[in-house]
Amino acid sequence: MKFTALKNDFIRKANFVAKVIPSSEGASLNSLCFEAKSDEVIIRGMGDYGFLTARIPAIIEEEGKCRIWGKRLLEVLSKYRTLAFDEIKVVSGEEKIRLSTGKTGCNVGILSEEGDFDLAMEYHFTSPCVYTIKGNSKSLQEELKKTVSFSSEDRRNTDWYGVFFVIDENKDLHLISSDRMGLAHLKSNLNTLNDEPNIHFLLPTDAISTIIKILDEPSSDEEVVIEIGENDVFRFQWGDYRCSFRILSPDFFPNWKKIQPGSKKFHFLAEDLSKALSVVSLYAHPDYKAIKIDIEENKMTLSSKDNYGDASNDFEIPNVLGYAAAFWLNVSFLQTFLGIVDGEVTMVCEGNTDPVFLYPIANPNECYTLKPLQMQTDE
């Protein structure tokens, strides 16, 4: 194998693909595969939860393929980054690969050319597609950023660690996540291209985070293509990048349709709630991380109390005359919600123990639901 490529492009994409490989010392996983053919080089990485590939335009003098220990390669490339040369030349022999730019060169040992790595890649990327989804890259990135923010951080509980993809009877795609304190539901702007509805699965948070990072990379492409393979894999293609992840089918599934909003509806600005929450959150209940919300006489009052003190703050809200309610909500969910929402918000609720729904006016396809906590307090 022998090729020449732009140095910065090669280094950036090699580093990016390496993000998928684990930090363990196992040679099969902690490695990058390079394949030179036609007019490009394909870099492949394999991790615990999926695969990632990137393509680089290159001048190919000799086609070939080899596999290199990822950690050592990145150490070499980090030294090359600051050198004042535009190109990098890669030449592989029987036992080593030589990387050179200008007069600087370094040899890195080759692990192998074939094996389980290639078989696993073939299994993920060539299985027949049973469902296809297409859409705008920036729209998908924004939707994933919002939903993954509300997923559980507990890696041990795979039923909650990720984002649910749901295609309903109308062939609409929904993205759903939950941290067991609340539920985020977005109706996606992406288009489903198959006739078979009622599909749902969980894509782990690690895979979601990788896709979000890919969509930060520079590219002239605006359309993303998602394929669901018949062997339970999620394939994603955009620009020079392609990745594949194992999807999960957990026992638990958040059926958001069973949670119906109440009849009491009122509006407020997210900024007003954020200001009121900024101090009150400091004294959130130590056991439940919760604050109390009282609604009465055109006013919302936030209050909290812990072992060190208490706080309260209020602001005016219109059109709630004749309605009063008091409930405890998880402060972390509220803070995450306010971190991604601007402008006017609609709150829909009923009694003190009924779910509370939050709808951003600017994004009618989004809904955030909180279940009031059943608190044991001294009040």
What confidence tens digit (pLDDT) does each residue in 143-157 have?
Answer: 999 999 999 888 777
Q: Give the residue from 233, 186, 238, 236 showing the smallest Cα distance to 217.
A: 238
**pLDDT tens across 185-228, in order?**
999 999 988 777 678 889 999 899 989 988 888 777 789 999 98
Characterise 15 by phi-psi region: left (phi > 0), alpha (psi -120 to 50), beta (else).
Answer: alpha
- pLDDT over 80 (residue 240): yes
User: How far is residue 35's CA from residue 236's CA, in Å, rounded to a whole number?
Assistant: 20
Tell me, yes or no, whether 378 lies in a domain: no
Specify the range with the lowest mean pLDDT, choosing from 269-278, 297-306, 320-329. Answer: 320-329
149 and 105 share one domain: no
Number of folded domains that form the chain: 3
User: How far is residue 213's CA from residue 188's CA, in Å, rounded to a whole number?
Assistant: 19
Residue 71: give the domain boundaries: 2-119
Tell me, yes or no, whether 347 lies in a domain: yes
274 and 223 share one domain: no
User: How far is residue 181's CA from residue 151's CA, in Å, rounded to a whole number?
Assistant: 10
Residues 6+ apart with CB under 8 A from 59: 3, 4, 5, 39
Tell me, yes or no, whether 375 lies in a domain: no
User: How far is residue 236's CA from residue 213's CA, in Å, rounded to a whole number?
Assistant: 13
139 and 251 share one domain: yes
Q: Could you tell me how far CA 378 lies from the centroid of its own chain?
A: 40
Tell me, yes or no, whether 376 lies in a domain: no
Residue 215 tokens read as: 């969509």
Q: What is the mean pLDDT of residues 70-84?
A: 83
181 and 223 share one domain: yes
Are the beta carbons of 171 and 192 closer than 8 angstroms? yes
Are the beta carbons of 202 and 166 closer than 8 angstroms? no
284 and 312 share one domain: yes
- Find where tokens 């009618």 sit: 364
**pLDDT tens across 85-118, in order?**
889 999 987 778 888 888 888 888 887 655 455 6
Domain boundary among 213, 232, 256: 256
Domain boundary among 69, 98, 119: 119
Domain boundary among 202, 224, 256: 256
User: How far is residue 202's CA from residue 246's CA, in Å, rounded to a whole number?
Assistant: 9
Tell me, yes or no, whether 11 lies in a domain: yes
Tell me, yes or no, whether 277 lies in a domain: yes
75 and 161 share one domain: no
Banded model confidence at residue 232, pLDDT cuts 50, 70, 90 = confident
E strand spans, 95-252:
96-101, 104-109, 129-136, 162-167, 173-178, 182-187, 191-192, 199-204, 223-229, 233-238, 241-246
110 and 192 share one domain: no
- pLDDT over 80 (residue 319): no
315 and 346 share one domain: yes
* Type of residue numbered 185: H
Helices (H) and strands (E) in the chain — how many of each? 7, 26
Banded model confidence at residue 27, pLDDT cuts 50, 70, 90 = very low
Tell me, yes or no, whether 286 lies in a domain: yes
Q: Which residue did the predictor score with more confidence, 252 or 16?
A: 16
**pLDDT tens across 330-355, in order?**
999 999 999 999 999 999 888 788 88
Tell me, yes or no, whether 377 lies in a domain: no
For a pLDDT cut of 90, what percent of the chain falls above it?
Answer: 38
Residues 6+ apart with CB under 8 A from 315: 268, 272, 273, 275, 276, 299, 300
> Whole-prediction pTM value?
0.84
Q: What is the CATH number of the domain that holds 268?
A: 3.10.150.10
User: How far is residue 57's CA from residue 14's CA, in Å, rounded to a whole number?
Assistant: 13
232 and 275 share one domain: no
249 and 284 share one domain: no
193 and 112 share one domain: no
94 and 113 share one domain: yes
- Residue 118's SS3 state is helix
Q: For the residues of 305-325, what is the DSSP string, one character each?
A: EETTEEEEEEEE-SS-TT--E
Q: Which residue did the predictor score with more confidence, 244 or 323?
A: 244
> Cα dihedral angle (372, 374, 378, 379), rounded to 10 degrees?
50
User: How far is residue 25's CA from residue 17's CA, in Å, rounded to a whole number?
Assistant: 17
DSSP 19: T
pLDDT, the chain, mean:
85
